[in-house]
Amino acid sequence: MRTPQRRPPDLVNQRHRLADARSLSHFYPDAVMTLHRLSFDFRQIADMRAFYRHFVRLTHSGAHFGNNLDALWDVLTGEMPLPAEIALCHLHSAARQETFAALIALLREAEVELAGQLKVRID
């Protein structure tokens, strides 16, 4: 007698769940997950507008990206391939961290929301 195979959940209704590598590995245990790495050099990023430009270029988000924290959240939690690592390079100074405090808070929140599928490093 043949053992029935597990079927993945409905792709349309479970897009966020399937983005989670743990869910994928449950259905495809031999699959190799690629870690997507995004690196932002804050020596070249002076403000949030510049950050959004770099983010769109690296993630290929395109014209639909809204250049605000809500749009960033939507891409991080629903459109961007996971697992991923985001490195915020040269963000050492207190002034820079204050300028980008809302961004850092959102990335940390996304890290928690995505249960380990997103790692944020501040170098």
* 69: exposed, middle or buried (Cβ count in 10 Å: 0-12, 13-18, 19+): middle
pLDDT surpassing 70 at residue 32: no
Q: Are 27 and 11 in contact (CB under 8 A)?
A: no
pLDDT surpassing 50 at residue 71: yes
Q: Are 123 and 91 in contact (CB under 8 A)?
A: yes
Specify the pLDDT at position 62: 82
Helix (H) or strand (E) holding 105: helix 101-113
Phi, psi at residue 36, to the nearest 5°? -90, 125
Q: Where does the pLDDT of residue 25 fall: very low under 50, low under 70, confident under 90, or very high at 90 and above?
A: low
Q: Which CATH number fits domain 36-122: 3.30.370.10, 3.30.470.20, 3.40.640.10, 3.90.1170.50?
A: 3.30.370.10
Q: How far apart are CA 80 and CA 75, in angstroms?
A: 6
Specify the pLDDT at position 19: 44
Q: What is the DSSP string of 14-79?
A: THHHHHSHHHHHHH-TTPPPPPEEEEEETTS--SHHHHHHHHHHHHT-GGG--SSHHHHHHIIIII
User: pLDDT digit string (tens) for 51-69?
Assistant: 999 999 999 988 889 999 9
What is the pTM for the complete model shown? 0.72
Tokens 């891409």 correspond to what residue? 75
Q: How far apart are CA 85 and CA 88, in angstroms?
A: 10
Q: Where does the pLDDT of residue 123 fall: very low under 50, low under 70, confident under 90, or very high at 90 and above?
A: confident
